[in-house]
Amino acid sequence: MKSHRFLLPVVLISLASVAFAQSNSQKSVAQSDAQKPADKTAPSEAQKSFDTMKTFAGEWEGKVTVPEMPEMSGGNLHVSLRVTSRGNALVHELQEANTPLDAAKYDHPVTMLYVEGDQLNLIHYCDAGNRPHMTGKMSPDGKTVEFGLVDVSGGMDHGHMHHALFTYVDADHHFEDWTYMMGDKLLHAHFDLKRVK
């Protein structure tokens, strides 16, 4: 009988300890949940724009038109767009169609697109030796992503890329419009690109 009297308080203390531990555990979980940032299920505008840009991944070819310099119009271009870095970057490579990848002999500018914070960013590694940085936004209809200049790193003796516009036509057709600033003169290059199958 004495052993039961001794055992009862031990059991009650043990149950109280378990209940207290569970109560503290629930409070810790509740506090931990309160400290977590709000669940962001809807992507930001920058992420939506970037997701649209990623649909352009693939190989493209088409004609270029430069109204201010007709002698540059009519040439065939090859554009490669590739998603990389676990989906965090998009690489845009431009070259004259049917030329080897020889950067010492042919123009071969590379452009990187990525999201940082609430901005869609574009950095153009130009053959002019500089790196224009632009930020972009998607149009309300979701058909275009337009980039405006933020700053330029490197020399600007030979001009710099100033503006870019990507327009979605359909899964196999898009336009690119690039504006180059040479001194106080703007040159507009329009690429009419079809997906290479």
SS3 83: strand
Mean local confidence (pLDDT), 25-32: 52
Residue 189, amino acid: A
Global pTM reads 0.76
Residue 12's pLDDT is what?
Answer: 39
Res 21 pLDDT > 60: no
Residues 118-152: tens digit of each pLDDT? 999 999 999 999 999 999 999 999 999 999 999 99
The CB-side HSE value for 19 (13 A sphere, CA atoms) comes to 6
Question: In this structure, how many other beta carbons lie within 10 angstroms of the beta carbon of residue 57?
Answer: 14
26 pLDDT band, cuts 50/70/90, is low
Q: How high is the pLDDT of residue 39?
A: 53
- Sequence-distant (≥ 6) Cβ neighbours of residue 11 within 8 angstroms: none
Nearest to 190 by CA among 176, 170, 180: 176
DSSP E strands: which ranges in the chain?
58-65, 76-84, 89-96, 110-116, 119-125, 131-138, 144-153, 160-170, 173-182, 185-195
